Amino acid sequence: MAGPNYIDVGLANSPPRLRGKYGRRWVGTAMLLLNSVAQGLTHALRAPWLKSPPGGAYDALPLLGSETSLPRYPTESYVQHRDRVERAWQDWPFAGTFGPLIAQLAAAGYPGVEVIFDDNAPGPHGQPAPYWSQFWLFFPIGSHPVTGAGQRWGSFLWGDGTLWGPSGITYLELFTIRSIVRKWKPGDWVCRGLQFELTRPTWGSFNWGDGTVWGGVVSVGA
């Protein structure tokens, strides 16, 4: 155990009459109780420390996540969830703004996300522009697992298990992103979609007609 061993301390400070065969056994047994108490206090102190290694906060993290209303989502690692919970007191005072939303996405494994506004776009139900309370989230290259636009019509059979949508990202990953967005976005704003950047070619790096999309972005409705 870390810290002093009270058995050694007790024996070293015992009077002569307790240093014999039976005296040493009595002192050792009494000090063993102090060792157990000290070890329990150490564990209790370190249990909620988020930066402690697994075995400390590892057991307390689900409880701390529940207390701070930051549950662990299906695709999150222990470290990603820990990092989001650690930000609780930085982010909750500003909940409902875009800063904490971006920070929580970064901690969950999606860094560099940008908020895109388009006042001239129609509203989510076709309301005429300008419709100011809507936004899109742009995920730059390297911040997401999306690899393509997904299956096209005719390339799969209905019921074969193929999901209609972008390839490279799973339903659970989208669920994690959407859950964070719903929790942290401004309450009177609508997230219209998620935009995943696929290509960022430069002049001369492709040939016309080779299928490369200039600034290709895959969009998913939120």
Please state the pTM of the whole predicted model. 0.67
Specify the pLDDT at position 178: 94
Evaluate whether 137 touches 114 at the Cβ level (below 8 Å).
yes
Same domain, residue pair 126 and 19: no
pLDDT reported for residue 162: 47
Check whether residue 116 and residue 26 sit in a common domain.
no
| DSSP labels, 49-74 | -TTSPTTSHHHHHHHHHHHTT-PPPT
In a domain, 74, yes or no: no
> What are residue 116's DSSP bridge partners?
136
Summarised one tens digit per residue, pLDDT across range 139-184 is 998 878 787 665 554 554 555 554 455 777 888 999 999 999 999 9
- When pLDDT is averaged across residues 117-133 and rounded to a whole number, the result is 87
Q: Buried (b) or exposed (e) across 137-157, using 16+ Cβ within 10 A?
A: bbbbeebbebeebbeeeeeee
Q: Are 204 and 117 members of one domain? A: yes
pLDDT digits (tens, 9 = 90+) for 13-62: 778 877 778 888 887 888 888 878 877 777 677 666 776 655 455 577 88
Give me the number of domains the chain comprises.
2
Domain-embedded: residue 153: yes
Same domain, 116 and 13: no
Domain of 17, in residue numbers: 6-46
Task: Determine the pLDDT at residue 213.
Answer: 47
Q: Is 50 exceeded by the pLDDT of residue 85?
A: yes
Respond yes or no on whether the N-terminal peptide bond of residue 128 is cis (omega within 30° of 0). no
Give domain status of residue 66, yes or no. Answer: no
121 and 197 co-located in one domain: yes
Provide the residue count of the chain. 222
